[in-house]
Amino acid sequence: MTTIASETLNSPRGNLLARTEGWLDARGKAAWIAATVVGFVLFWPLGLALLGYMLWSGRLGSSKRTRHAPRLPFATQMRSTGNAAFDAYKADTLRRLEEEQTNFEAFLKRLREARDKAEFDQFMEERAKRDSSEDAETPKA
């Protein structure tokens, strides 16, 4: 490839797809979804291609990682700033936040389990009532 061609592809004005991708990324997931819907309306293979690209690149946000705040890499978290007092404060704060997150996730798990148990108990009560009413209605031989 010539220098002129590579400069054209790498310049912000040269690559329409890269500019469009950047524009959609700046506007968030809703813009990607809207573009996919418009793609399906205008020309269904275009909408299908956009949907496939969103799934492949992770822009659709279907994984658990994207639903929660992304965690910083360990090296970024523990990188020294050169100030011992600040580094100790930062390490303590990160440890405390991770502990709070763990406690909160355990709390949510307990809530889900309690809700599931309550729903199951309600189901069993309704089933017992239905069975007892059916037994009362059927004549004994």
CA 71 – CA 88 distance, rounded (Å)? 20
Residue ranges of the alpha helices (H) in the chain?
Answer: 3-10, 16-27, 29-42, 44-57, 64-67, 74-77, 84-137
| Residue with tokens 């108990």, as numbered in its chain | 121
Structure tokens at 38: 């418009």
Q: Are 61 and 29 in contact (CB under 8 A)?
A: yes
CA 3 – CA 8 distance, rounded (Å)? 9
Amino acid at 60: L
Q: Residues 49-90: pLDDT tens digits?
A: 888 888 888 777 654 444 445 555 555 556 788 899 999 999
Whether the predicted model's global pTM rises above the 0.85 cut: no
Q: Residues 12-35: pLDDT tens digits?
A: 555 887 888 888 888 888 888 898
Q: Residues 95-133: pLDDT tens digits?
A: 999 999 999 999 999 999 999 999 999 999 999 998 888
Nearest one of 22, 51, 12 to 35, comparing CA atoms: 51
Q: Describe the crossing of helices 29-42 and 16-27 by its angle, rounded to 10 degrees.
A: 130
Task: Sketch the domain layout of the chain as residue ranges.
Answer: 1-68, 71-141
